[in-house]
Amino acid sequence: MKKIAIIGDRFMLPDVFRDKIVEACGDGHEIRLLEQPWPDVPMEHGYAVEGMDGLKEYLGKPDEIVRFIGDAEILVTQLAPLSRTMLADLPSLKLVAVSRGGPVNIDMKAARDAGVRVVNTPGRNASAVAEFTIGAILAETRLIRVGHEALRRGEWRGDLYRADRTGRELSEMTVGVIGYGNIGTKVVRLLRAFGTKVLVHDPYVQLSAEDRNAGVEHVSLNELLERSDVVTLHPRVTEETKNIMNAETFAKMKPGAIFVNTARGPLCDYDALYENLINGHLASAMLETFAVEPVPEEWPLLKLPNVTLTPHIAGASVRTVTYAAEMAAEEVRRYIAGLPPVNPC
């Protein structure tokens, strides 16, 4: 029998974790549950809290988390932090399954030093984000936001049927996808169904045979920016990709193009985007992630009429919850069975 501590929240529900673990591992284990109040309470970042340096996007007071985990050998969580000091107080802990793409809430060096196996769930929300991205693109290309906002004001925009004002179909457009990982590959597949010409920039991977045979092109960043009617971001945040969209790269985009960011805020220089939206170089933008979250009320991009905004919800879907829990449960099963992990960190 293993002692398993589950720290879920109001998205990654503790009951779902437990049910998936019981399905995968049987019900002969001691399982304790804790629910954190995220997303109703915002996450924290370690740079603002003594002893939590380097940890990001976590929730929970260290003493309370340590007390709850106690003598558990296995921890399953999305947001609970684990610092070096906390790990030192958890000598029984041997496995941490983090139900997210990257274990940014865990001190990975400290975990390795303590002999704690950390696993994650990459791609857990890839389908959700890809699907959301297509909706984001369509909101701009087919003037869904423009028509919606006008009607909310009591204004009937019949003029949007004019040939010089109406939107364009994806079947006649070129969309540039920056980043060809779990999400980017799914975005490409969905775009192909519309008959869209798709360009991909990712210097570290090659196109699949299926995409290559379907006419998807693997191009340089400059070529993608110059040719694309829509540019959508999907790389991971690294030193190389931080502010990949900046004053220089925005200037290289096609005049009248559309910019979409459903990935991460640090990928974009939002001041430069603002300038390109107000000077007319870019037609519009759809933004789902931001440099600071929640967004300040006086942020200039909130005031622009040619911007659609959502509060970082692209990865939120019912299927994401169950899929991530299934992935975490499989890692728990493999640990108990003495098998190597599927997704070690």
From first to last of its 345 residues, what are the pLDDT tens digits of the chain? 999 999 999 999 999 999 999 999 999 999 999 999 999 999 887 666 777 888 989 999 999 999 999 999 999 999 999 999 999 999 999 999 999 988 999 999 999 999 999 999 999 999 999 999 999 999 999 999 999 999 999 999 999 999 999 999 999 999 999 999 999 999 999 999 999 999 999 999 999 999 999 999 999 999 999 999 999 999 999 999 999 999 999 999 999 999 999 999 999 999 999 999 999 999 999 999 998 888 999 999 999 999 999 999 999 999 999 999 999 999 999 999 999 999 999
Written as one letter, the residue type at 320 is T
Based on the residue annotation, tell me whether 155 is a catalytic residue of this protein.
no
Check residue 54 and give its pLDDT. 82
Residue in the block written with tokens 């008959």: 195
Check residue 182 and give its pLDDT. 94
Active-site residue, from 312, 326, 330, 331: 312
Check residue 131 and give its pLDDT. 98
Check residue 293 and give its pLDDT. 87
Task: Extract the tokens encoding 1.
Answer: 């029998």
Active-site residue, from 264, 288, 326, 331: 264
Cα gap 52→324, rounded to integer Å: 26
Task: Extract the tokens encoding 51.
Answer: 């002893």
Based on the residue annotation, tell me whether 293 is a catalytic residue of this protein.
yes
What's CA 73's distance to the chain center, in Å?
29
Based on the residue annotation, tell me whether 112 is a catalytic residue of this protein.
no
CA 42, 46, 51: angle at the middle one, nearest 5? 135
Check residue 196 and give its pLDDT. 98
Active-site residue, from 64, 172, 210, 293: 293
Check residue 280 and give its pLDDT. 97
H-helix or E-strand spanning residue 127: helix 126-141
Check residue 48 and give its pLDDT. 61
Cα gap 217→274, rounded to integer Å: 29
Check residue 52 and give its pLDDT. 86
Cα gap 108→311, rounded to integer Å: 29
Phi, psi of 232 (to 5 degrees): -125, 135
pTM: 0.91
b/e map 133-172, b = 16+ CB within 10 Å: bbebbbbbbbbebbeeebeeeeeebeeeeeeeeeeeebee
Contacts for 306 with CB less than 8 Å, ≥ 6 apart: 277, 283, 284, 285
